[in-house]
A and B are shown apart, each in its own frame.
Chain A
Amino acid sequence: DSGVTQTPKHLITATGQRVTLRCSPRSGDLSVYWYQQSLDQGLQFLIQYYNGEERAKGNILERFSAQQFPDLHSELNLSSLELGDSALYFCASSAGTSGGVADTQYFGPGTRLTVL
Chain B
Amino acid sequence: QKEVEQDPGPLSVPEGAIVSLNCTYSNSAFQYFMWYRQYSRKGPELLMYTYSSGNKEDGRFTAQVDKSSKYISLFIRDSQPSDSATYLCAMSGGDYKLSFGAGTTVTVRA
| Residues of A participating in the B interface, judged by any CB pair closer than 8 Å | 2, 4, 31, 33, 42-45, 48, 55-56, 58, 90, 92, 100-102, 104-110
Contacts and interface: CB of A to CB of B under 8 A. Distances in A.
Q: Decide if the interface of chain B is mainly helix, strand, loop or mixed.
A: loop
B32 interface: yes
A104 B90 CA distance: 12
19 contacts: A31-B96, A42-B100, A42-B101, A43-B88, A43-B100, A43-B103, A45-B100, A56-B95, A56-B96, A58-B97, A90-B44, A92-B43, A101-B94, A101-B96, A102-B32, A105-B98, A107-B45, A108-B43, A110-B43
B46 interface: yes
A42 B45 contact: no
Contacts of B92: 101
Nearest to B43: A107
A47 to B, nearest CB: 10
Contacts, number: 58
Given A44-B100, A45-B100, 7 more contacts: A33-B96, A43-B103, A58-B97, A90-B44, A101-B94, A105-B98, A107-B45
Contact of B95 (A31, A43, A100): A100
B97 A56 contact: yes
B44 to A, nearest CB: 5
B96 to A, nearest CB: 4
Contacts of B42: 109-110
Contacts of A108: 43
Contacts of B95: 56, 100-101
A106 B98 CA distance: 13
How many of chain B's residues touch chain A, expressed as a range? 20 to 34
A26 B43 CA distance: 14
A55 B96 CA distance: 8
B43 A100 contact: no
B43 A101 contact: no
Contacts of A106: 45-46
Contacts of A102: 32, 51
